[in-house]
Every structure is written in C-alpha cells, then in structure tokens.
Amino acid sequence: MGIPELLIANDGKRVTTQEEWAARRKELLDVLSSEEYGFLPPKEPACLKLVSKNKDHYGGRGVEEKLELTIKADKGDYTLPLTLLHPDAPGRHPLFLYISFSPELYQKSLPAEVLLKRGYSVALIHYAAVTSDDNDFTNGLAGLMDRPCDGTGWGKLSLWAWTLSRALDEIIKRDDVDVEAIAVIGHSRLGKTALWCGANDERIRFTCVNDSGCSGAAMERGKNPASENAEIICRRFPFWFCENYKKHGTDVEHMPFDQHFAIAACCPRYVAVTSASLDEWADPPSEKRSCEAASCAWQLFGRKGFGDDAVHFLREGTHFLSLDDWEFFMDFIDRHKGERSSMKTASIAGAKPNIGPYSSATITGNLVYTSGQLGADPISGEMPSDVKGQAEQAFKNVAALLCAAGSDISRVVKTTVFIKNMDDFKAVNEVYACFFTEPYPARSCVEVARLPKDALVECEAIAEL
Ligand code: GTR
C-alpha cells in the first residue's frame, strides 16, 4: 500500500505553490500532533539567567556559561539548567541546541573541542531536567503543565521539544548567535525529539536527527520486520506519544500520516538524518526512504530536496552519536548557512493582493517587519475618510499582520508613523495610545508630501516574535 500523499491537501487539492505549501505544512503538523506526538503546549514566557561563566575551556578556545532557564508553566515557574559553550571569539556563531542524555558538557557524545575549533556553539539541555523518561507525568515540568486528556495531549517527546523552543526564545536574543545557523540535534529518542522540534520551530534552520528510528525519521510503512515498529514502541514507550497514537500501532496501513511528514515539515529549511549501519532496530533504509519521500516539498521551491536540502548519511557502526555524525552535520550546515536567507513572509488571511512588489510582512531571526499599513480594510479595501478612522484601521492592520507572523502588538519594539498633515498629530496620538502600552515602542513620526491612495496616515512596525 502507498504512503500518504504529501502534496495532496486535506481538501483533496494538489499543492503546487509555495503559499499552498505553507498551509499544507500546518496540516502536516496538525495530523502529527493529534495522532502521534500530541500537541505542543502553547508558548509561555521564559527567561535565562547566568549562574557562572568560565572562560578557560580547551586551552582558552571556549567559554562555558552555566545558565538557568525559567519557564512560566501553567501551575508555576519551573527552572532547569542549561549549559552553553561558545567560542571565545567575537562575532556570531552557528549554534547547536542539543537535547542530551547526559547533563555533562564532558561526555562521549559531544566532541566539544572539535565544535569550538570549527566555530560552533552548543547549548545543552539534559532531558531528565525537563521531565523523567517514563509514565510519570507529575514530575519536573510535566507536573506543572496542563495536559489535555482528549487523546491529543502532549507526550514526553513533545514536552522535551517544546522546552528546547522555550530555550531558543531566549538564546536567539544573544548577540553571539548566528540566527541563520541555528540547529537542533539529538540522538535516538532524543533524535525523535530533535526532529519534532525542528519540524515545528521555524527559527531552527537545520534539524539534525541521529539514529532516531521508529516514530522518528524512519518511514513506518514497509519497514524491515526486524526493526522497531509503531506497535512495539506504543507498548514499550506509550508516554513518549499522545494517546491517539496507540490506535495506529496495530493498523499502520491506515495511519493518516507517515514519518516523511515530519521530515517535510522542516521544508523549506534543512534537515539531515544520520544512521548507523548496524542499527537494525532503527532501520536505516527506512530513515533514508522518508527523506526521499519528502523531497517533493523542496521541489516546490525549485530546490533539489533529497541529497541537498534533506540529506541522509550512513555511518559504519552501531547506535551512537559519534564524532562522524557531528562532522557530517557541521559540514552540512557550513555548506548551506550562507546560501539563502531564512527570511519568511506573512500576510493577513483573505487580504487583497498588495499594490506593488513587496511582502506585507517579513520575518527573519527573532524579528517581524511589517510593510507600511494604510487605514484601509484589508479584505474590502475600503478606507474611512477621517484621519482617526484611518489611524485605527492602520494599527488594526499592523496588529493582524503581527498575529499572522506569530507575534503580536505587545511585542512591538519600533514603529514609524507617516502623517499627511502634522496638524493630525494629536488625533493620531489618541488612537495610538489605545493600541500600545508601556513600555512603549520607540517611534518616529514624520509628515510626508503624499501617501499611496491619498491616505492621511500610514504606520509600520518592527516586533519580536
Ligand atoms: C530504544 C527504542 C528506540 C530508541 C532507543 C533510545 O529502546 O526502542 O526507539 O529511541 O531506545 O532512545 O535509546
């Protein structure tokens, strides 16, 4: 039996454009959330605190920062350690977000000195500091987060993945991080975690998945019978997934998804899958098949897909995250990081097409930039005649665009207001005060000779994600 079609949307239509892909990608994440991993919890605020800094690592090559990540969980704050190792050199460095089996920086699966030598930073989170790897949902962060009990509530893989994204919320603000070269990495069950994290989090440009096997990179259908399958994994590790996954274990052929969906959800970003030749349990050929099957997503972007944007590497040996795997990931990142900007675009659903060659909003790194918004209704195009009405609609449009981009008006750091007549300054300010609260964003306000459509006011904003 065939595998579920990546490029046929839920409404039965074939996906042929990049815009349609963005919507299809959401459908993929939706089905994987509700049927396999469980929905990630909604985003919560986090903060990072420096506990200690040691500058003399590896002969002065690296700086180790011991940090504490505090997440505002549903039932209270939760704090866990995060260790950051970065080159002792100026500039922005590519960064691995590493979900690790060990809390230690000095461990057999982290060739830290090689990373530093190649200019890489690593942020290490120990999975057990998030929550235990068992059926106990009362300890650690798990005990403080609400978990829907409708069959779609997050499993442990989702909670680990979500925590990585909360760490990234803060790490991305550092001025020593190259936001075009952020990677997530994990091995085995934590490789599944890395894949699920990278599939969801669009700030992660490189998803590095090692020996992740069943319910990770490996295609479930058509597996080597000697390898782990969904039925076995649901019996042994039910707590990794949502309840709904269990019904699929015994009826794999009818699953509305397969693991190429998770690989493709990383598109148009990059994904690297590594396997070990003797790791039959993880089924390397099936890990490769998912990457091949996901290829068509990148082809919508005029790219090659398998072999370039989604790559597979088979290392000789057994189940392990080795130096060879890290080197493969770094070579992959080095090859692509300067290549294309990770800029994305956003627009208000149903809005009229733009009146020129520009995007309504762009997103890069942690920032959203809106185009200037006139006070016209985005759907009908109608514009009130008075300046107050126009200002109100213009700020509403800014707010809607920011929402579409994954931010909101409370996260604005800078605005620019263009007014046709400075005598309208007071009226515009009154409206402005209803949209922005303290601490107010920085602002420029200028009078201009003329605005498109002879509008009286236009506003644009820059906001954090
Ligand atoms: C095994 C499990 C695999 C893999 C591995 C690991 O017991 O069957 O799916 O995730 O554990 O995480 O070490």
- Per-residue pLDDT reduced to its tens digit, 208-267: 999 999 999 999 999 999 999 999 999 999 999 999 999 998 899 999 999 999 999 999
Report the pLDDT value the prediction gives residue 340, as an integer from 0 to 100.
Answer: 60
- Find the 307 Cα to ligand 1 centroid distance in Å: 26
CB of 214 closer than 6 angstroms to any ligand 1 atom: yes
CB of 213 closer than 6 angstroms to any ligand 1 atom: yes
CB of 223 closer than 6 angstroms to any ligand 1 atom: no
CB of 188 closer than 6 angstroms to any ligand 1 atom: yes
Give the nearest ligand 1 atom to 236 CA.
8
**Please, are residues 272 and 209 in contact by the beta-carbon 8 Å criterion?**
yes
Residue 8, pLDDT > 90, answer: yes
Assign 198 a pLDDT band (cuts: 50, 70, 90): very high
Residue 374 phi, psi (nearest 5):
-85, 170
- Find the 387 Cα to ligand 1 centroid distance in Å: 62
Give the nearest ligand 1 atom to 228 CA.
8
Tell me whether residue 299 is exposed, middle or buried, using C-beta atoms within 10 angstroms of its C-beta: 0 to 12, 13 to 18, 19 or more.
middle
CA torsion sign, 81 to 85 to 90 to 93?
A: negative
CA torsion sign, 170 to 61 to 103 to 212?
A: positive
Q: What's the mean pLDDT in 422-428?
A: 97
Tell me whether residue 295 is exposed, middle or buried, using C-beta atoms within 10 angstroms of its C-beta: 0 to 12, 13 to 18, 19 or more.
buried
Report the pLDDT value the prediction gives residue 99, as an integer from 0 to 100.
Answer: 98
Among residues of the chain, what percentage have pLDDT more than 90?
92
Residue 418, pLDDT > 80, answer: yes
Of 2-16, 300-314, 351-365, which gets the smallest average pLDDT? 351-365
How crowded is residue 373: how many other Cβ atoms within 10 Å of its Cβ?
Answer: 25
**Please, are residues 6 and 296 in contact by the beta-carbon 8 Å criterion?**
yes
CB of 462 closer than 6 angstroms to any ligand 1 atom: no
- Find the 217 Cα to ligand 1 centroid distance in Å: 13
CB of 153 closer than 6 angstroms to any ligand 1 atom: no
CB of 228 closer than 6 angstroms to any ligand 1 atom: yes
Give the nearest ligand 1 atom to 187 CA.
12
Q: What's the mean pLDDT in 1-24?
A: 93
> Which domains, and CATH codes, for the chain?
18-336 (3.40.50.1820), 344-464 (3.30.1330.40)
- Find the 331 Cα to ligand 1 centroid distance in Å: 26
Which one of 101, 109, 239, 281 would you pick to mutate in the ligand 1 pocket, going by the greatest count of ligand atoms within 8 A of its CB? 281
What 3-state DSSP class applies to 41? coil
- The runs of H, that is alpha helices, within 300-358 are 323-336
Q: Which amino acid is at 376?
A: A
CB of 220 closer than 6 angstroms to any ligand 1 atom: no
CB of 189 closer than 6 angstroms to any ligand 1 atom: yes
How crowded is residue 365: how many other Cβ atoms within 10 Å of its Cβ?
Answer: 18
**Please, are residues 82 and 72 in contact by the beta-carbon 8 Å criterion?**
no
What is the pTM for the complete model shown?
0.79
CB of 279 closer than 6 angstroms to any ligand 1 atom: no
Residue 1, pLDDT > 70, answer: no
Q: Which amino acid is at 192?
A: K
- For residue 266, the number of C-alpha atoms closer than 13 Å in the C-beta half-sphere is 32
Q: Whose CA is nearest to atom 13 of ligand 1?
A: 188
- Find the 302 Cα to ligand 1 centroid distance in Å: 36
Determine the Cα–Cα distance for residues 168 and 46; give it in Å rounded to an integer.
10
Nearest to 7 by CA among 297, 212, 222, 260: 297
Report the pLDDT value the prediction gives residue 438, as an integer from 0 to 100.
Answer: 93
Report the pLDDT value the prediction gives residue 135, as an integer from 0 to 100.
Answer: 98
**Please, are residues 169 and 306 in contact by the beta-carbon 8 Å criterion?**
no
CB of 186 closer than 6 angstroms to any ligand 1 atom: no
Assign 341 a pLDDT band (cuts: 50, 70, 90): low
| Radius of gyration of the chain from its Cα atoms, rounded to whole angstroms | 24
Q: Which residues are designated catalytic?
A: 445
- Find the 381 Cα to ligand 1 centroid distance in Å: 55
Q: What's the mean pLDDT in 33-44?
A: 97
How crowded is residue 460: how many other Cβ atoms within 10 Å of its Cβ?
Answer: 19
- Find the 167 Cα to ligand 1 centroid distance in Å: 25
With vertex at residue 157, the alpha carbon angle to CA 152 and CA 161, rounded to the nearest 5 degrees, is 105
Give the nearest ligand 1 atom to 192 CA.
10
How crowded is residue 14: how many other Cβ atoms within 10 Å of its Cβ?
Answer: 10
Report the pLDDT value the prediction gives residue 342, as an integer from 0 to 100.
Answer: 66
**Please, are residues 19 and 301 in contact by the beta-carbon 8 Å criterion?**
no
pLDDT digits (tens, 9 = 90+) for 347-389: 898 888 888 889 999 988 789 999 999 999 999 999 999 999 9
- Find the 138 Cα to ligand 1 centroid distance in Å: 22
Q: Whose CA is nearest to atom 12 of ligand 1?
A: 189
Determine the Cα–Cα distance for residues 377 and 390; give it in Å rounded to an integer.
9
CB of 198 closer than 6 angstroms to any ligand 1 atom: no
With vertex at residue 184, the alpha carbon angle to CA 206 and CA 209, rounded to the nearest 5 degrees, is 80
The pLDDT mean for the chain works out to: 96
Q: What's the mean pLDDT in 146-166?
A: 98
Which one of 109, 157, 189 would you pick to mutate in the ligand 1 pocket, going by the greatest count of ligand atoms within 8 A of its CB? 189
pLDDT digits (tens, 9 = 90+) for 103-149: 999 999 999 999 999 999 999 999 999 999 999 999 999 999 999 99
**Please, are residues 337 and 94 in contact by the beta-carbon 8 Å criterion?**
yes
